[in-house]
Amino acid sequence: METPKNPTSIEHRIREGLSRLATAMRSDDWARAKAAGINPTQYAILELLEGRPHGLGVKEIALWLGVSQPTATDSILALERKSLVVKQTAVEDRRAAHVLLTEPGRTALAAGEAVHGTAEIATEPLSSAERTGLLMTLVTMIRQLQETGAIPIQRMCVSCRHFRPNVHPGEANLHHCAFIDAAFGPSELRIDCRDHEIADPAFRAATWDAFIEG
């Protein structure tokens, strides 16, 4: 059988594929937000604040979500009115107000998390090796975006000062987390770890080299 003539570039088709997944994820975002009784931007703010006991400033929230500061401010005000977040002035800098998740905010977040999403459905047919491979691909792509400045540094192992890649060669748990002093395998790499501490650029570069050499 003949192959189709003039296929679009592989980059183009990857973008098409990612775009289809993004559309499905957006619909997940709406379903989760609806279960929590808020809109997707407000829900994304609650997700961002989870595991950050000191909260985040409005500017940081806008940066993380890729929205304008006025949009972030409006969403935070709406969440404050529903008592899902609270603003607190930092002791060390009285000009900087931080936004923190409240207990009702945690409950709303849990209501959204109970929604079975398309990511789970989409990965159902994958073997565990394929899931780990996909996780590695995602880590690689997200790291590329953060290192080129397209997105802020995420709370991933590969940008964490506690990450020791491939220090247990030949073992299933070949990586090590110095924070909890425990070995872990590739399928346990974190994308958003609450214990993450950002490493400096030189450490991140050395860690990445050691990681991909393994």
Q: How far is the CB of 63 from ligand SF4 (least distance, A)?
A: 20
d(CA 68, CA 2): 49
| Shortest distance, position 31 Cβ to ligand SF4, whole Å | 28
Q: Is 99 in the site for ligand SF4 (CB under 6 A)?
A: no
CB 197 within 8 A of CB 203: no
From residue 65 to residue 94, what is the string marking binding to ligand SF4 with x (rule CB under 6 A)? ------------------------------
Taking the alpha carbons at both ends of the chain, their separation in whole angstroms is: 40
Stretch of 21-29, 59-67, 69-77, 156-164 contacting ligand SF4, by CB under 6 A: 156-164
What is the smallest separation between the CB atom of 204 and ligand SF4, expressed in angstroms?
Answer: 12
Instruction: For ligand SF4, give the closer residue by CB, 163 or 211.
Output: 163
Of 72, 76, 108, 193, the one binding ligand SF4 (CB under 6 A) is: 193
Alpha carbons 176 and 127: distance in angstroms, whole number: 24
Q: Of 163, 204, 207, 211, which lies in the binding site for ligand SF4, with binding defined by CB under 6 A?
A: 163
Alpha helices in the chain (DSSP H): 10-36, 40-49, 58-65, 69-81, 103-113, 118-123, 128-147, 201-213
Contact 162, 175 (CB under 8 A): no
190 near ligand SF4 (CB under 6 A): yes
